[in-house]
């Protein structure tokens, strides 16, 4: 009965490198959400995906950031040319449904990205 699985748990990148964060939703969940938590701040919504579709990316920076949720495999949040300001905890959440019952979102353990 695995929960939301994220890897890696910790990621260190030098400025200008690429960061790839992976998220496997809970079994039976087809809705994936990515959130970012800057140090000492609250969680901010970034992007909402279903299989092979980006539903809402209104919270994601227009440049350098992209997300996907392919038919097979985990959802991936990709940050190109990382800068120090990208250092944060990135959390993935999943839910069974997006409306009605069973919309509760459960969070993974997060990936803590440090840009040096």
Partner 1 sequence: QKEVEQNSGPLSVPEGAIASLNCTYSDRGSQSFFWYRQYSGKSPELIMFIYSNGDKEDGRFTAQLNKASQYVSLLIRDSQPSDSATYLCAVNMDYNAGNMLTFGGGTRLMVKP
Residues binding partner 1 (CB under 8 A)? 31, 33, 35, 41-45, 48, 55-56, 59, 91, 93, 95, 98-99, 103-110
Least Å distance, CB 114 to partner 1, is: 13
Least Å distance, CB 3 to partner 1, is: 9
Q: Is 86 helix (H, G, I), strand (E, B) or coil?
A: helix
Residue with Cβ nearer partner 1 (14 or 58): 58
- What percent of the residues of the chain are helix, what percent strand, and what percent coil, each to the nearest 5? 5, 50, 50
Least Å distance, CB 78 to partner 1, is: 20
Write out the two tokens for 102: 């069973």
Strand intervals (E) in 4-110: 5-7, 10-13, 19-24, 31-37, 43-50, 53-56, 65-68, 75-79, 88-95, 106-107
Residue with Cβ nearer partner 1 (80 or 97): 97
Count of CB atoms within 10 A of residue 38's CB? 13
Residue with Cβ nearer partner 1 (66 or 106): 106
Residue with Cβ nearer partner 1 (18 or 52): 52
């Amino acid at each position: 009965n695995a929960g939301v699985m994220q890897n890696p748990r910790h990621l260190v990148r030098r400025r200008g490198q690429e960061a790839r964060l992976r998220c496997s939703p809970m079994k039976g969940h087809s809705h994936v959400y990515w959130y970012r938590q800057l140090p000492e701040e609250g969680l901010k919504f970034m992007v909402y995906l279903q299989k092979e579709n980006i539903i809402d990316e209104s919270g994601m920076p227009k440049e350098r950031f992209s997300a996907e949720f392919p038919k097979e495999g985990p959802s991936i949040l990709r940050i190109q040319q990382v800068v120090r300001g990208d250092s944060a905890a990135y959390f993935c959440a999943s839910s069974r449904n997006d409306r009605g019952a069973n919309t509760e979102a459960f969070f993974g353990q997060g990936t803590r990205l440090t840009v040096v």
